[in-house]
């Protein structure tokens, strides 16, 4: 079972760059997208509804903003497209597809880089979300939370960790939250489990400014966070950089069936 997580930075834009050609040949069973930046009516074209895929969008109320989606080879038993938190549900940040005992989730955590008000919203998300995480853990389901978490966890997870300690995405309290995620809350970082010391090959996002991509000045902010029950099924994890659909790269993880 192959699961892909990608912040596509505009699904229409990614489509122009060949995302759907790649999707067809990706071998993926489930693809979780973030920042679709479109309403369902903007995605009416057949291009966005390829044969053989089941899909669902959770768009933000604000046009062109945020939004998540899941494309899946299988028909889910249930789509869950809200968290019960109005501040975040209206921003298209969560979508869950349930397949028997398995939940595949697309998550787009707020970015705090635009200023203090956005950081405050991100912090409210960090405050709120653990409750939901606990429910997922308590459900006993197999859970894969694919997403742009907008937090690099450790010094291994971004090129310039030293200069970014005061920047949103690598703030001490954000990193401490991820410590708890993988510690006391019992979740597992799929990529890091398989590549405990990888740095340069692990980045999933590069700023559009400067020559970040060319110089691999990247951050690992896209993760597949899994319930411990799935850890034994991890086969491989990699970042796909042969093509560029977005300022983020697809994170591909294979799980034993």
Which residue out of 71, 94, 108, 203 is catalytically annotated? 108
User: What are residue 238's DSSP bridge partners?
Assistant: 252
Q: Which H helix or E strand runs over 24?
A: helix 19-25
- Residue 148 annotated as binding? yes
Which of 29, 123, 148, 222 is catalytic? The answer is 148
Q: Which H, E and C letters describe 224-242, residue by residue?
A: EEECHHHHHHEEEEEECCC
Residue 89 annotated as lining a ligand binding site: no
Q: Which is nearer to DNA, 37 or 192 (CB)?
A: 37
The verdict on whether 71 is a catalytic residue reads no
96 is in an annotated binding site: no
139: phi > 0 → left, psi -120 to 50 → alpha, else beta; which?
alpha
- Would residue 45 show up in a list of annotated catalytic residues for this protein? no
- Least distance in angstroms from the C-beta of 171 to DNA: 15
CB of 75 to DNA, least distance (A): 27
Element (H, E) at 99: strand 94-99
CA distances from 37 to 45, 71, 151 (A): 15, 16, 21
Task: Considering the candidates 222, 248, 254, 255, report the single residue annotated as catalytic.
Answer: 248
150 is in an annotated binding site: yes
Beta strand 205-206 with 94-99 is: unpaired
Angle at 93 between CA 92 and CA 97, to 5 degrees: 95
The residue ranges that bind DNA (CB under 7 A) are 9-13, 17, 35, 37-39, 42, 63-66, 110-111, 113-114, 118, 208-210, 247
Catalytic annotation present for 81: no
Q: How far is the CB of 166 from DNA (least distance, A)?
A: 17
Q: Which lies closer to DNA via its Cβ, residue 8 or residue 226?
A: 8
Q: How far is the CB of 214 from DNA (least distance, A)?
A: 11
Q: Is 132 labelled a binding residue?
A: no
User: Could you say which DSSP state residue 109 is in?
Assistant: P
- Detail the residues annotated as belonging to a binding site for Mg(2+): 7, 35, 148, 150, 247-248
């Amino acid at each position: 079972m192959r699961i892909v997580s990608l912040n596509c930075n505009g699904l229409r834009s990614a489509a122009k760059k060949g995302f759907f050609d790649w999707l067809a040949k990706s071998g993926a069973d489930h693809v979780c997208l973030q920042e679709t930046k479109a309403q369902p009516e903007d995605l009416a074209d057949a291009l966005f509804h390829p044969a053989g895929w089941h899909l669902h969008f959770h768009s933000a109320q604000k046009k062109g903003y945020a939004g998540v989606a899941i494309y899946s080879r299988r028909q889910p038993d249930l789509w869950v497209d809200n968290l019960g938190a109005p501040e975040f549900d209206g921003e298209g940040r969560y979508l869950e597809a349930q397949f028997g005992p398995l939940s595949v989730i697309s998550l787009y955590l707020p970015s705090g880089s635009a200023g203090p008000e956005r950081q405050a919203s991100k912090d409210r998300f960090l405050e709120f979300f653990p409750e939901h995480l606990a429910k997922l853990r308590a459900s006993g389901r197999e859970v894969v939370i694919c997403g742009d978490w907008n937090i690099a966890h450790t010094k291994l997870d971004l090129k310039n960790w030293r200069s970014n300690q005061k920047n949103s995405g690598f703030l001490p309290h954000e990193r401490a939250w991820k410590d708890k995620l993988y510690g006391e809350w019992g979740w597992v970082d799929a990529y890091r489990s398989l590549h405990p010391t990888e740095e340069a090959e692990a980045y999933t996002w590069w700023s559009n400014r400067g020559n970040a991509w060319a110089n691999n000045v990247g951050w690992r902010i896209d993760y597949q966070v899994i319930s411990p029950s799935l850890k034994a099924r991890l086969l491989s994890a990699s970042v796909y950089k042969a093509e560029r659909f977005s300022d983020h790269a697809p994170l591909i993880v294979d799980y034993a069936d």
